[in-house]
């Protein structure tokens, strides 16, 4: 027996923005689900910022960072040959988000330089930089 289509009144139909946000939330959860354990501090910080973010620009930036983080962790777990380039891509993504200058002397400059490879240090540094950059959202 065919299902009866439910028609909502115009005032009860979800807006295009609401639909887009639900799709983005779904994609975010899917990306997070596929990431093996690794950069725990960074992921915890990203979760806090994601839940507090109200504007679409911030959520889109964080979504891109989650994909870079997932690619780096999957490469570390399953494909060590490409792990170096995935970590470099992750560093570039974080440096781009926080607008780091590679010629400076601070943590942001260190993460933007290609030679920075210590994974636990990289995780802690990325979490600190994201907390500093997104300030009130990460609290």
Tens of pLDDT, residues 13-40: 667 777 777 777 776 666 655 545 568 8
The pTM of this model reads 0.60
DSSP assignments along 13-65, one per residue: SPPHHHHHHHHHHHHHHHHHHTPPS--HHHHHHHHHHHHH--SHHHHHHHHHH
Question: Residue 34 domain-assigned?
Answer: no
pLDDT at 10: 59
Question: Residue 128 domain-assigned?
Answer: yes
Cβ neighbours of residue 43 closer than 8 Å, sequence gap 6 or more: 32, 35, 69
Question: Residue 19 domain-assigned?
Answer: no
Question: Residue 59 domain-assigned?
Answer: yes
Could you identify the residue written with the tokens 């988000």? 97
Average pLDDT, the chain: 73
Q: Which residue in 115, 121, 120 sits closest to 102, CA to CA?
A: 115
Residue 2 has pLDDT above 70, yes or no: no
Number of domains within the chain: 1
Question: Residue 75 domain-assigned?
Answer: yes
Question: Residue 80 domain-assigned?
Answer: yes
Question: Residue 72 domain-assigned?
Answer: yes
Domain limits for position 79:
40-138
pLDDT at 75: 76
Question: Residue 26 domain-assigned?
Answer: no
């Amino acid at each position: 027996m065919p299902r009866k289509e439910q028609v909502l009144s115009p005032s009860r139909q979800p807006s295009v923005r609401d639909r887009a946000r639900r799709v983005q939330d779904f994609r975010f959860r899917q990306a997070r689900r596929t990431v093996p354990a690794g950069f725990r501090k960074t992921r915890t910080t990203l979760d806090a910022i994601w839940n507090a973010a109200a504007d679409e620009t911030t959520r889109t930036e964080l979504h891109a960072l989650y994909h870079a983080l997932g690619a780096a962790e999957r490469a570390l777990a399953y494909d060590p040959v490409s792990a170096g380039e995935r970590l470099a891509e992750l560093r570039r993504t974080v440096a781009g988000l926080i607008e780091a200058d590679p010629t400076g002397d601070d943590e942001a400059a260190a993460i933007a330089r290609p030679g920075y490879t210590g994974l636990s240090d990289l995780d802690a540094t990325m979490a600190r930089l994201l907390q500093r950059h997104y300030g009130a959202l990460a609290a």
